[in-house]
Amino acid sequence: MSASPLSTTGPGTFPRGIHPPEAKELSASGKIEVLPTPKEVKIALLQHTGAPCEAIHKPRTEVEAGAMVGSSEAFVSAPVHSPIAGKTAKTCSVTLPNGRHVPAVPIKATGEQLEGDALFEEIFGGEWPTSGLERYSADEIRTATREAGIVGLGGAAFPTHVKFAVNPEKPIDTLLINGCECEPYLNADNRLMIEAPMPMISGTMLAARAIGAEQMVIAIEDNKPEAIAAARKAAEGSPVRIQPVKTKYPMGGEKQLIPAALGRIVPTGGLPLDVGVVVMNVGTATAVARAILRGKPLTHRVVSVSGRGIVSPKNILAPVGATYQELIDLADGLTPDAARVIAGGPMMGFALGELDTPITKGTSGIVVLTEAEVRERNETNCVRCGHCVDVCPLHLVPTRIALASRARNWDLAKRYHMMACMECGCCSYACPAGIPLVQLIRTGKASAPRA
Amino acid sequence: MSQELDTAPASDTDQAKAPRIVVAPSPHLSEGSFTTRRMMLDVLVALSPPVAVSIWVFGWYAVVQLGICVISCLVAEAAFIAWRGRAFTLGDGSAAVTGVILALSLPWSTPWYVGFIASFVAIGIGKVVFGGLGQNLFNPAMVGRAFVMICFPAALGAAAYVLPGSPLSIVTQATPLTALKQGLVESSDVLSLLIGNTNGSLGETSAIACLLGGLYLCLRRTASWEIPAGTILSVAVISGAGYLISGSSFLHPLHHILGGALLFGAFFIATDPVSSPLTVKGKWFFGLGLGAIVMLLRLASGYPEGLMFAVLLMNAVTPLINRFTIPDPVGGPVPQRN
Ligand code: SF4
Ligand code: SF4
């Protein structure tokens, strides 16, 4: 692929990758439903990549909906807010799906709460201007974004204001909004684009102001025609370009989406800003609009609850801090053959052991697979068929890296560029011998001596 | 790695039906239909056109040969498993594939014990001593074939193909490549090379049957198309260049591509994933190199055919090819950190 550093459009796809069954139909047409206010929410003090927050209030403090309950002095961090009116309790510990034990502030709901349609209206309704945004300076946007506790809602949960920090040596010319949602089953971003495209457009323009990007592109996989149509309509008359891209996993990965949508290649070990790009998720853009135009923090998000192990798959607008169990209950619970509950999508998400865990800002979905779908495969010898090589979107040789890692042969693993692996899981998905390639590579990346 | 726990069903009404939630690392999906076993079944399906032609041309001889080799390979695999006490998968179908390929690469007249020995060597030395399927360096069928070729030269030489006065009229002619080498080009016209009513090893006579099965394998992604493409390309270029320069009808490219074991080998033997390179670039090298060595052996050695040795040679350099074709990641190599 030829790619000039300043190219503005790409071929709409990237070489290799896989086409797992999309299974979007389970929840694609499910209008976003609002979770009834839980009796209690637990606000994890570390929901993002970066430094953890400290609880601000003493136990038994009355807080309003939207009040900040945790913050940190560190730059790479994001404050957390209460989604409900309530009373705080003593800090407890929760185990997040990634296995980390983090402190959390429990808040018991008290008094009047905004519920149902009124809550949906409050968050997404009303006017979202696409003009006159010049009155917000880049600094104001950055500060408000930080105050609102906005992090990447696509899953990685990287603090957004950090992405907004401009580096004069690496000017940004393009803001790329990621509406791919390439993981099977998930429809949270899809529904958000269909039901509330306006705040996404405003948020995109505001974020572009913060980073000084001239070009604004929203990339959407072509299996979401409704979202593409809604986004196009909302973007009419604005400088935002809607760019459909091919449906393929992992299109939503930055290193795939930037070449596909813009025709630029991010150097290995580098960041999108090395090629003048900042990538943000659609939900994040929406949250930025709400923070700047309405002064409201990030307290709720859309979560897809789907999979064949869920009785009634749905898309749910839920307060951060509600439990997985509560969301699953609203979707009428698990089927008897449910076998695995995943936070996020089935390709990169974490399997949950405990459903009484709070969702966080980065929870894009809850996918429940059935026994038949997760049946364990017997691992057999690598037959060197090269299928893992044929699907690796980064052009690695997964079998070599994985087997070198298993043998703890770090020199060999390095020769095969182990550290470049983005752990997308395509290789494991495709391997006919059932070798847990990405798991072996992940272990290798974690245990190889740094040099 | 996985840990289990019971979670109450949301409805809470039917405890007996509580789903069992199991934790495991991502990805949580796999292309379930695509397994090693399916690949081997694909190869067997793809081999059916050459098998059918071999039975049509050589009749009973082909049936017996196939039976001996397939059964011997299965028995050998079972015996070695029992002996080594290792659970190599008999069920993966690879021993049957080896048996069929081996049978199809032998002449019709091969004595039963030669097929039997070749099978045991193929499985034992070709595969098991390396540690089973996936660990072997060489294509097992070719190891067995080469072994008996060296031990029983008389039973497998050019004379083994021809029996003057046989009731099976096909085998009264020389094989096309031998004829070619002796300058008797017209003895096999291109049409019979395509259809397969010529003399030769059991499975190699019909170009159409090999193409049919081979294309199926490539379409199913069980075989990599780059290998046969490379092989055919390099044979075409080398013989074509020779033909244009010398004008010798011996070098007619069509005869070299369609005659002998070239297509059978390019599609069914060289594409054995275990003993061929992993990357696209490596596969091209492998294919092109294979074709070049085949031509070298056909032109410069005493043998009319060179495919078997060419495959073994290329197998031997495959680890080297793999080493020199490590692709750069998208975005370039990992930067060194100090
Ligand atoms: S896909 Fe699996 S069997 Fe095939 S080469 Fe890769 S690791 Fe080996
Ligand atoms: S997990 Fe790593 S090695 Fe496997 S396909 Fe993805 S990038 Fe390639």
Mean of pLDDT over chain B: 81
Alpha carbon of A399 to ligand 1 centroid (Å)? 6
Q: Same domain, yes or no, for A176 and A289?
A: yes
Query: Closest approach of chain A CAs to the CA of B43, in angstroms?
Result: 13
pLDDT digits 0-9 by tens, A39-88: 999 999 999 989 999 999 989 999 999 999 999 999 999 999 999 999 99
Widest pairwise Cα distance in chain B:
88
**Whether the Cβ atoms of residue A113 and residue A39 lie closer than 8 Å to each other:** no
Alpha carbon of A258 to ligand 2 centroid (Å)? 18
Domain that holds residue A419: 387-447
Closest ligand by atom to B26 CA: 2
Q: For residues A445 and A418, give the distance between their C-alpha atoms in angstroms, rounded to a whole number.
A: 7
Alpha carbon of A397 to ligand 2 centroid (Å)? 8
What are the φ and ψ backbone dihedral angles of A297, each rounded to 5 degrees? Answer: -80, 175
Q: Does a structural domain hold residue A167?
A: yes
Q: For residues A263 and A7, give the distance between their C-alpha atoms in angstroms, rounded to a whole number.
A: 6
Please tell me whether residue A101 adopts helix, strand or coil conformation.
Answer: strand
Closest residue (by CA) to atom 4 of ligand 1? A385
Q: Does a structural domain hold residue A201?
A: yes
Of A336, A399, A432, the CB nearest to B35: A432
Query: Closest approach of chain A CAs to the CA of B2, in angstroms?
Result: 10
Confidence of residue A9 (pLDDT cuts 50, 70, 90): confident
Q: Does a structural domain hold residue A253?
A: yes
Structure tokens at B161: 């193909």
Closest ligand by atom to A435 CA: 1
Ligand 1, residues at Cβ distance < 6 Å: A 382-388, 399, 430-433, 435, 437
CA A402 to ligand 2: nearest atom:
3
By CB neighbour count within 10 A (0-12 exposed, 13-18 middle, 19+ buried), where does A136 fall? middle
**Is the complex ipTM higher than 0.85?**
no
Q: Structure pTM? A: 0.86
Q: For residues B240 and B242, give the distance between their C-alpha atoms in angstroms, rounded to a whole number.
A: 5
pLDDT digits 0-9 by tens, A398-410: 999 999 999 999 9
Structure tokens at A181: 């949602």
Is residue A347 within 6 Å of ligand 2 at its C-beta?
no
Last residue of a domain, one of A263, A294, A325: A294
Last residue of a domain, one of A294, A318, A348: A294
Cβ separation of A425 and B334 shorter than 8 Å? no
CA A402 to ligand 1: nearest atom:
7
Structure tokens at A203: 């948020």
Most informative mutation of A438, A439, A440, A443 for ligand 2 (most atoms within 8 A of CB): A438
CA A437 to ligand 2: nearest atom:
4
**Whether the Cβ atoms of residue B234 and residue B207 lie closer than 8 Å to each other:** no
Model pLDDT, residue B205: 81
Q: Does a structural domain hold residue A228?
A: yes
pLDDT digits 0-9 by tens, B36-94: 888 888 899 999 998 888 888 888 888 988 999 999 999 988 888 777 766 555 567 88
What is the residue whose two structure tokens read 């790695």?
B1
Q: For residue B3, list chain A residues with Cβ-Cβ distance below 8 A.
A: 353
Domain count, chain A: 2
For residue A170, pLDDT over 90 is answered with: no
Q: Which of A429, A431, A445 would you mutate first to test chain B, the one with the most B CBs within 10 A?
A: A429
Cβ separation of A381 and B135 shorter than 8 Å? yes
Structure tokens at B266: 């390019």
Structure tokens at A215: 């070009």
What is the residue whose two structure tokens read 């089973």?
B132
Q: Same domain, yes or no, for A277 and A406?
A: no
Q: Same domain, yes or no, for A287 and A407?
A: no
Q: Does a structural domain hold residue A39?
A: no
Closest residue (by CA) to atom 2 of ligand 1? A431
What are the φ and ψ backbone dihedral angles of A199, each rounded to 5 degrees? Answer: -60, -30
Q: Which of B3, B11, B21, B35 would you mutate first to test chain A, the one with the most A CBs within 10 A?
A: B21
Closest ligand by atom to A401 CA: 2
pLDDT digits 0-9 by tens, A344-382: 999 999 998 889 999 999 999 999 999 888 876 778 888
CA dist A279 to A75, A163, A173, Å?
19, 9, 12
Q: Same domain, yes or no, for A138 and A276?
A: yes
Q: Same domain, yes or no, for A126 and A270?
A: yes
Cβ separation of A337 and B22 shorter than 8 Å? no
Structure tokens at B175: 């094989």
Q: Same domain, yes or no, for A287 and A397?
A: no
Last residue of a domain, one of A242, A276, A294: A294
CA dist A49 to A7, A66, B125, Å?
30, 22, 54
Q: Same domain, yes or no, for A124 and A270?
A: yes
Q: Same domain, yes or no, for A399 and A283?
A: no
Q: Does a structural domain hold residue A190?
A: yes
Which residue type, as a one-letter code, is found at position B158? Answer: A
Q: For residues B203 and B215, give the distance between their C-alpha atoms in angstroms, rounded to a whole number.
A: 16
Question: How many angstroms from the chain centroid is the CA of residue A240?
Answer: 21
User: Residues B271-285, buried b or exposed e (16+ Cβ, 10 A)?
Assistant: bbbbbbbbbbebbbb
Alpha carbon of A74 to ligand 2 centroid (Å)? 33
**Domains detected in chain B:** 36-322 (1.10.3430)
Mean of pLDDT over chain A: 91
Q: Does a structural domain hold residue A340?
A: no
Closest ligand by atom to A421 CA: 2
Q: Does a structural domain hold residue A90?
A: no
Q: Same domain, yes or no, for A172 and A278?
A: yes
**Whether the Cβ atoms of residue A12 and residue A260 lie closer than 8 Å to each other:** yes
Could you tell me which chain B residue has the CA closest to the CA of A268? B331
A206: domain CATH number is 3.40.50.11540
User: How many C-beta atoms surround the C-beta of residue B4 within 10 A?
Assistant: 9
Cβ separation of B132 and A381 shorter than 8 Å? yes
Q: For residue A428, list chain B residues with Cβ-Cβ distance below 8 A.
A: 27, 30
For residue B6, pLDDT over 50 is answered with: no
DSSP per-residue letters across A302-320: EEEEESTTBSS-EEEEEET
**Whether the Cβ atoms of residue B143 and residue B269 lie closer than 8 Å to each other:** no
Q: For residue A337, list chain B residues with Cβ-Cβ distance below 8 A.
A: 19
**Whether the Cβ atoms of residue A81 and residue A297 lie closer than 8 Å to each other:** yes
